[in-house]
Structure 1
């Protein structure tokens, strides 16, 4: 029977998270974890792995949002959890999102002389709740939305994606958790906000498990935990130490593969030579028998002995070849092979003299490649929406930050059919394959995709739009992508021949995509800057 997530009283014990023999599979039978076990103590753990490896699923199991098939999850202390797909109800006030609305109401009743004994009991240890909330909001750079206590009554409808993430983190931290789970907390955050979040996590006294692909954040963790093929492997130290270990292992694995391939060739050659020698002996024996130079009984005995000897010799070389092939297969299993995204749509080309976009503050000519950067709340997402509403002078596709472009319950292939009804299935499947959805993967419901897989799927959907887009607008496309996929996406976008506008805080990705024109947007104002 499964043991479901539990929270034990922390007492004097140090915060920790234990996973024991954890098993989990999707309803279709595909296994995610088999006998996964780990122990996380006080400190910051960076949980990494390829898209679809099960990182978010593991956090959901720990947080109790999913139930394991078997095994146990033990949490010592109070648990906090910041989800990857955080969606804030824009009608709510800031204090409601922070979970302190009831405390503030009790505080204000007491301050006005209308408080009750229940209010006093509720406020025990929480008299400074407003001050603590405001101080934490300011430390994380949210003083724009909350300057003082009165701003805690503000509605959150005007928050950017990055500000919403930070507000969600503040809400978790105010609860005073001992074990904190964070799923891609730096998504959509500008560089300053990422640095402030990293500093805040360095102050956290308990256990932090962070799913992230942010190199700067992963360089400040105490332990890297890699989830791969359903198994969890721990590496002491930050991301750079993990990369050094993996690089050394891959160097050894490639050397082992070369040696094993050489041995396979050698054993195959020796087997062929042995078979040639045996064939010659057999022909010689047949010739002697035909000439009847020895008594029949002697020739029969010699033939039987030769056949036994030949069988042993042949079997020895066949066994050696089979062993060599087994060694090669084991060596190849140690290699990590990254599949690559490919974009090769020639029909996306735009003539250099054509005006593609003309809106206040932004004019795009021909196949310009524009990187749109700037602080959270500066208006970048709003600008992309304005461009889409204009509309542009050419067919376009917008990849929104929240990726709310799918019919969640139908398959990825069905979603593409809806956007490109005139395209044959073979062409749609080919497009999906270029984005690493091969075979049955195209038939899976969109709701089962991981965050990184959704990014690839959304880009495939955008490019499948009929007519083919000649302007592609991407809002934080590397959110949730693993590092290899983000690098590959940047390289793949080089092949896009139309106009490109990309909002991103990932400078490495923008460089990989070879963005030619860099614009910075702050408080709605746009200025041209040198490449970062």
Structure 2
């Protein structure tokens, strides 16, 4: 039997009563499917339901075949060993026992035909850029990107029939991303990918778009999807124009019908007043005219209502998705003003760094997974102390972390912002959150229950209202968890920001759009490079 995912009349609501899916239906068979939609549309929730992390409130989910799942916010216990994550502990122990001379049948049953498992594992790790990672290493010694790659390696080794990947290229460097793209292209079975990474969405066989609690499938990759949607919207806009024209015509016809009726009424009244005909005949003629006029008026009113209904349906088909509005603080940094100085700073598990940042300079910080980009940013803001050297930050600085863990999960977005900006009024807080599409109950919902994109928006809203306004912004993988429209809005806002900026990112197209003035690579040292 071929592998598949079937959702039948699926229902799901959060504990606060917010409905995500109501009688949702979907069938995905073998092939590669990219699942897209605006932040908060339910993409990650749907994968968690399929993976069994969440229980549906109605309907059913059927998965045919072995299931694998890589979550968006991957959390691996730091004390676990690499071979535990890869599921190799029992097999390695059995092989070691046999090699020591223990011929217990249980060991042979455990190994099966996987005597070369360590060699295959080593090859997979090497292919994903984890050649330096030993099987006995602790997970806590790996960077966030390396942990994602490790879990991907575990999935690729298992080769499940159905694989769910939620933002698999988040935190990955360019080399690792290319390796993931190659793995996706060669995948056999059912593969469902939630991502905002355009390149990975170019590798799929179909795009499924989640909108308003339902899914629509488009054959082909992301380019094909965008072309199809553009054609749809062009046709819909023509329908709107035709419907608007028809509505105007029906209004004119109704006015004309009423004018004719008024004329007949006036004529009939005049005939009655002058008594030019017998009363019986005039009364009969008046009744017939009223009946005919009533039918005529009812016909025009019905046509008018039909025209209104056609226009409403046409307008509903026009896409008008809300987009975030990012208003960065008005902070002007004079040219030449010292913003950051790192003097022989030795970061944890990294090199010594010398860096001088002046004025509204914009630095793109790039480097391979595990090179220390996040550690460097944490050292600048004082989360981690340097092994040696001095860090000088003479201006207000704000940091957007990669893991979005600066907010209190138990508090709402509004409460987190209020705590960071005690002088801000409730109206100002609500207005700021509304710009990030966190309105009403969403602003009052505990941050821990928000989607990845919503959590990002809550974090950024909090940072932007924090007092005093930042003159130096540090952003660590800021496009993770954002839909494509939000990435565009963020880029446009950063273009107009007048403060200094350091952005650690593997998203080169994004970095190219924000006016970077200096490209820096972190490796065995911090070095200036030519623009990527």
Answer yes or no: same fold by TM over 0.5: yes
1:383 and 2:366 are equivalent in the alignment? no
Secondary structure of 1:370's match?
strand
Whether the 8 Å CA contact 1:412–1:446 is kept in 2: the answer is: yes
Within 5 A, what are the aligned runs for 1:255-274? 255-274=238-257
Paired position in structure 2 for 1:174: 157
User: 3-state SS of the aligned residue for 1:347?
Assistant: coil
Q: Report the 3-state secondary structure (helix = DSSP H, G, I; strand = E; otherwise coil) of the residue aligned with 2:475.
A: strand
What's the offset of the Cα at 1:126? 2.9
Q: Which residue of 167, 192, 197 maps to 1:214? A: 197
Report Cα offsets for 1:430-477 as digits up to 9, x if no partner: 111111223332122222321112222211111121222222211111
Q: TM-score, normalised by structure 1?
A: 0.90
Q: Deviations over 1:10-29 (max 9, x none)?
A: xxx33333323322222333
Partner of residue 61, structure 2: 73
Q: Is the 8 A contact 2:414 2:443 kept in 1?
A: yes
Aligned pair in 2 of structure 1 residues 441, 282: CA closer, same or farther (>3 Å)?
Answer: farther
Output aligned runs, 1:366-515, within 5 Å: 366-389=359-382, 390=391, 392-515=393-516
The answer to whether the Cα contact below 8 Å between 1:48 and 1:224 also exists between their aligned partners in 2 is: yes
Shift of residue 338, structure 1, vs aligned partner: 2.7
Q: Is the 8 A contact 1:348 1:470 kept in 2?
A: yes
The residue correspondences of 1:1-150 to structure 2 (distance < 5 A) are 13-113=1-101, 116-144=104-132, 146=133
**Within 5 A, what are the aligned runs for 1:194-205?**
194-205=177-188
Instruction: Find the residue that maps to 2:330 and give its secondary structure.
Output: helix
Distance 1:462 1:41 in 2: 43
Aligned match of 2:234: 251
Contact 2:366–2:504 under 8 Å retained in 1: yes
Partner of 2:386: none
Give 1:158 deviation, angstroms. 3.2
CA gap 1:346/1:214 in 2 versus in 1, 3 angstroms: closer
Task: Tell me how far 1:262 sits from its aligned partner.
Answer: 1.6
CA contact (8 A) 1:162 1:189 kept: yes
Could you tell me which runs of 5 or more consecutive residues in structure 1 were left unpaired when the two chains were aligned: 1-12
State the partner residue of 1:241. Answer: 224
Q: Distance in 1 between matches of 2:5 and 2:270?
A: 78
Aligned equivalent of 2:135, options 138, 152, 174: 152
Give 3-state SS (helix, strand or coil) of 2:381's partner. Answer: helix
CA distance in 1, matches of 2:321, 2:195: 19
Question: Which of 363, 378, 398 is the aligned partner of 2:356?
Answer: 363
2:318 equivalent in structure 1: 335
Q: Secondary structure at the match of 1:153?
A: coil
Distance 1:275 1:357, change over 3 A: farther
Q: CA RMSD in A?
A: 2.3
What secondary structure, in the 3-state scheme, does the structure 2 residue paired with 1:34 have? strand
Describe the SS at the equivalent of 2:470: coil
Asked if the contact 1:17–1:73 (Cα under 8 Å) also holds between the matched residues in 2, the reply is yes
Asked whether the equivalents of residues 344 and 495 of structure 1 are also in contact (C-alpha less than 8 Å), the reply is: no
Stretch of structure 1 that moved more, 460-469 or 91-100: 91-100
Query: Does 1:350 pair with 2:333?
Result: yes
Q: When the two structures are aligned, how many residues end up with a matched partner?
A: 514
| CA separation of 1:282 and 1:466: change in aligned 2, threshold 3 A | farther
Question: Which whole-Å CA distance do the structure 2 matches of 1:98 and 1:91 have between them?
Answer: 14
3-state SS, counterpart of residue 157 of structure 1: helix
Shift of 1:295: 5.6
Larger mean CA deviation between 291-300 and 395-404 belongs to 291-300
Structure-2 residue corresponding to 1:3: none
Change in Cα spacing, 1:265 to 1:441, as seen in structure 2 (3 Å) is farther
Secondary structure at the counterpart of residue 145 of structure 2: helix
CA displacement 1:225-278 (0-9 Å, x = unmatched): 222222122222222111221111111011111111121222223323433444
Shift of 1:302: 4.5
**TM-score after normalising by structure 2:** 0.90
Instruction: Within 5 Å, give how 1:276-315 maps onto structure 2.
Output: 276-283=259-266, 285-286=268-269, 289=272, 299-315=282-298
Residue-by-residue CA offset, 1:206-236 (whole Å, 9 max, x unaligned):
2211111211111111222222222122222
Offset of residue 306 of structure 1:
3.9
1:106/1:115 contact within 8 Å kept: no
